[in-house]
């Protein structure tokens, strides 16, 4: 299975987790997914200071700046596998 196929499978599996991961885990998943699919966060699109949720998501993603698509995909797959092992799938 190619890295892209593994990534796509992990993206599907994360939607089948038995329960919602912690906020920290959700931010990590979001950041890795965005880095793997979009690349570095654009500073021009940083949410305003009153958009707390959007700002937290953008900042988590921005911390991944410089990470290659392949590295982000591998980290995302590993994170989903760890969550699957601890939470389980439906």
Q: Give the model confidence (pLDDT) of 37-77 as tens digits.
A: 999 999 999 999 899 999 999 999 999 999 999 999 999 99
CA-to-CA distance for 84 and 44, rounded, in angstroms?
A: 35
CA-to-CA distance for 61 and 70, rounded, in angstroms?
A: 15
Tell me what the mean pLDDT of segment 8-28 comes to: 96
Q: Is residue 7 a contact partner of residue 36, using CB atoms and an 8 Å limit?
A: yes
Q: What is the pLDDT of residue 35?
A: 98
CA separation, residue 54 to residues 25, 68, 72, 87 (Å): 16, 23, 20, 26
- Architecture of domain 3-87 in CATH? Up-down Bundle (1.20)
Q: Is residue 21 a contact partner of residue 83, using CB atoms and an 8 Å limit?
A: yes
HSE, side-chain direction, 13 A CA sphere, residue 9 = 11
Q: What is the pLDDT of residue 84?
A: 96
Q: Is residue 31 a contact partner of residue 63, using CB atoms and an 8 Å limit?
A: yes
pLDDT band for position 13 (cuts 50, 70, 90) = very high
pLDDT band for position 90 (cuts 50, 70, 90) = confident
pLDDT band for position 15 (cuts 50, 70, 90) = very high
Q: What is the pLDDT of residue 67?
A: 97
């Amino acid at each position: 299975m190619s890295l892209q196929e593994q990534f796509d499978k992990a993206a599907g599996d994360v939607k089948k987790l038995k329960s919602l991961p912690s906020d920290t885990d959700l931010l990590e998943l979001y950041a890795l997914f965005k880095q793997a699919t979009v690349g570095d966060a654009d500073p021009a699109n940083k949410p305003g200071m009153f958009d707390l949720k959007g700002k937290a998501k953008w900042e988590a993603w921005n911390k991944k700046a410089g990470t290659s698509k392949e590295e982000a995909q591998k980290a995302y797959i590993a994170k989903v596998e760890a969550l699957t092992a601890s939470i389980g799938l439906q």
